[in-house]
Structure 1
Amino acid sequence: MSTIQMFEKPLGMRDSFPKVNEQKEYIRSVAREFIRNKGYDFIKTPSVEYFETIGKASAIDESSLFKLVDNQGEMLVLRPDMTTPIARIAASKLLKEKNPLRLAYYANVFRAQHREGGRPAEFEQLGLELIGDFSPYGDSEIIHTAVELVKALGVESFRITVGHAGVLTAILKNNTNKKDQAETLRQLLVEKNFVGFEQKLEDMLLLEGDKENLMTLIDNTVESKSIEDYRPLLTTDQQHLIDQVEQLQSLLTMQLNDPSIVSFDFTLASHMSYYTGMLFEIHAAGSGFPIGNGGRYDELFKLFDEEVGATGFGIRVDRLLEVLPPKEVEEKHTLLLFHKDSYAKANGLAEEKRKNAERVTVQYMGSVSDLEAFKRIFDDVIIVSEGGSVRE
Structure 2
Amino acid sequence: MIHRTPSGTRDVLPDEMRELRAITAALHGVFEGSGYGELYTPALEYESVERMAGGQGVYRMFDETTGEMLALRSDMTVPIARVVGTRYATADPPLRFCYFAHAYRAVRPQRGQAREFLQAGIELVGSPAPQGTVEALTVLCRALDAAGLRDYRVGLGDASLFPALLAGLDVPEETRARMLRELVDRDYVGLEREASQLGVRDEVLRVAQTRGGPEVLEAPPGPVADAFEGLRAMHALLDPDVASRVIFDLGLIRDLDYYTGAVFEVYDPALGAPIGGGGRYDDLLGRFGRPLPAVGFALGIDRLHIALTGEERG
The question of a shared fold, defined as TM-score above 0.5 by the shorter chain, is answered with yes
Residue correspondence of structure 1 range 177-256 to structure 2 within 5 A: 177-203=171-197, 206=198, 208=199, 210-223=200-213, 226-230=216-220, 232-234=221-223, 239-252=225-238, 255-256=239-240
CA change 1:156–1:222 in 2 (3 A) is closer
Gap runs ≥5 in structure 2: none
Contact 2:84–2:290, Cα closer than 8 Å, also in 1: no
Could you say which residue in structure 2 is the equivalent of 1:81?
75
Amino acid in the other structure paired with 2:174: D
Contact 1:175–1:211, Cα closer than 8 Å, also in 2: no
Deviations 1:35-84 (A, max 9, x none): 1110110000001010012x20234415x424242511101111111000
Using the TM superposition, give the Cα deviation of residue 265 of structure 1 relative to its aligned residue in structure 2, in angstroms.
1.6
Residue correspondence of structure 1 range 53-92 to structure 2 within 5 A: 53=49, 55-62=50-57, 64-92=58-86
Could you say which residue in structure 1 is the equivalent of 2:290?
306
* TM-score normalized by the length of structure 1: 0.75
Using the alignment, how far apart are the partners of 1:199 and 1:180 within structure 2?
15
Contact 1:161–1:282, Cα closer than 8 Å, also in 2: yes
Contact 1:12–1:112, Cα closer than 8 Å, also in 2: no
Contact 2:89–2:290, Cα closer than 8 Å, also in 1: no
Whether 2:295 is the aligned partner of 1:317: answer no
Residue correspondence of structure 1 range 5-24 to structure 2 within 5 A: 5-24=1-20
Using the alignment, how far apart are the partners of 2:206 and 2:111 within structure 1?
34
CA change 1:69–1:311 in 2 (3 A) is same
Contact 2:27–2:144, Cα closer than 8 Å, also in 1: no
Using the alignment, how far apart are the partners of 2:177 and 2:91 within structure 1?
39
Residue correspondence of structure 1 range 325-344 to structure 2 within 5 A: 325=309
Using the alignment, how far apart are the partners of 1:68 and 1:31 within structure 2?
36
Using the alignment, how far apart are the partners of 1:240 and 1:58 within structure 2?
25
Using the TM superposition, give the Cα deviation of residue 214 of structure 1 relative to its aligned residue in structure 2, in angstroms.
1.4
Q: Tell me: higher relative CO, structure 1 or 2? Use CA pairs within 8 A at least 6 residues apart.
A: 2
Residue correspondence of structure 1 range 21-36 to structure 2 within 5 A: 21-36=17-32
CA change 1:71–1:258 in 2 (3 A) is closer
Using the alignment, how far apart are the partners of 2:225 and 2:248 within structure 1?
17
Contact 1:100–1:133, Cα closer than 8 Å, also in 2: yes
Using the TM superposition, give the Cα deviation of residue 6 of structure 1 relative to its aligned residue in structure 2, in angstroms.
2.9
Amino acid in the other structure paired with 2:102: N
Deviations 1:104-128 (A, max 9, x none): 0000001123334432211100000
CA change 1:141–1:43 in 2 (3 A) is same
Runs of 4 or more above 6 Å deviation: none
Could you say which residue in structure 2 is the equivalent of 1:156?
150
What's the Cα RMSD here? 2.0
Could you say which residue in structure 1 is the equivalent of 2:131?
137
Gap runs ≥5 in structure 1: 329-392
Paired residues, number: 311
**Aligned mate of 2:113, from 119, 129, 133:** 119
Contact 1:160–1:282, Cα closer than 8 Å, also in 2: yes
Contact 1:66–1:110, Cα closer than 8 Å, also in 2: no
Identity of matched residues, %:
29
Structure with max Cα Rg: 1
Contact 2:36–2:96, Cα closer than 8 Å, also in 1: yes
Amino acid in the other structure paired with 1:303: R
Contact 2:209–2:251, Cα closer than 8 Å, also in 1: no
Bigger Cα displacement from structure 2, 28-37 vs 282-291: 28-37
**Aligned mate of 2:276, from 275, 281, 292:** 292
Contact 1:175–1:214, Cα closer than 8 Å, also in 2: no
Contact 1:67–1:76, Cα closer than 8 Å, also in 2: yes
Amino acid in the other structure paired with 2:217: I
Whether 2:267 is the aligned partner of 1:278: answer no
Using the alignment, how far apart are the partners of 1:147 and 1:13 within structure 2?
28
* TM-score normalized by the length of structure 2: 0.93
Using the alignment, how far apart are the partners of 1:161 and 1:114 within structure 2?
26
